[in-house]
């Protein structure tokens, strides 16, 4: 159980440290190439949700972020501790959600910085949320598939 919160906290801290340096060392809109033509560091402020949807709905997005955090903690306690994939996925979602929630509460926008040109700019918290959701979905679908396999013995 403690590892769950430690993993989530590690994600929050890493996310906030990166955002601090981007905010402190870069100008808004500035781009720094990282991997030639593929990955850039671009400082943008997102006042909406994923893909800049719901711009101007920051108070509602704070409530949604809080509800997600509470739901993830609830499911953490409901899911078996031995179900490591599910627990890690939940910790990723919690850490990522809290990382972006901190931005919304204290800045009224989320700092995004990873730019792969063909996709909207995003951040570590976004990656963790998406990887966590994929892990949770994978685990739940795998368990459902196992229920539908008939016993041959």
d(CA 47, CA 84): 34
Q: Which residues contact 119 (CB under 8 A, 6 or more apart)?
A: none
112 an active-site residue?
yes
Q: Which residue has the tokens 């850490």?
A: 95
The pair of structure tokens assigned to 58 is 């920051």
Which one is catalytic: 15, 103, 115, 126?
Answer: 126
How many angstroms separate the first and last alpha carbons of the chain?
37
Triad 116, 119, 121: Cα angle to 5°: 70
CA angle 35/111/137 to nearest 5° reads: 80
Q: Single out the residue of 142, 139, 12 nearest to residue 88, CA to CA.
A: 139
Catalytic, out of 36, 112, 115, 151: 112
Hey, which residues are catalytic here?
112, 126
């Amino acid at each position: 159980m403690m590892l769950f919160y430690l993993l989530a906290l590690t994600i929050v801290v890493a996310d906030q440290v990166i955002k601090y340096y981007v905010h402190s060392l870069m100008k808004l809109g500035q781009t720094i190439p990282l991997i030639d033509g593929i990955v850039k560091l671009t400082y943008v402020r997102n006042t909406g949700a994923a893909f800049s949807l719901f711009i101007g709905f920051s108070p509602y997005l704070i409530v949604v972020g809080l509800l997600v955090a509470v739901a993830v903690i609830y499911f953490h306690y409901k899911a078996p501790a031995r179900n490591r994939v599910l627990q890690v996925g939940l910790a990723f979602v919690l850490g990522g959600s809290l990382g972006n929630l901190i931005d919304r509460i204290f800045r009224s926008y989320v700092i995004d910085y990873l730019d792969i040109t063909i996709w909207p700019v995003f951040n570590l918290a976004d990656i963790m949320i998406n990887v966590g959701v994929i892990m949770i979905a994978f685990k739940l679908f795998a368990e459902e598939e196992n229920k539908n396999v008939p016993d041959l013995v």
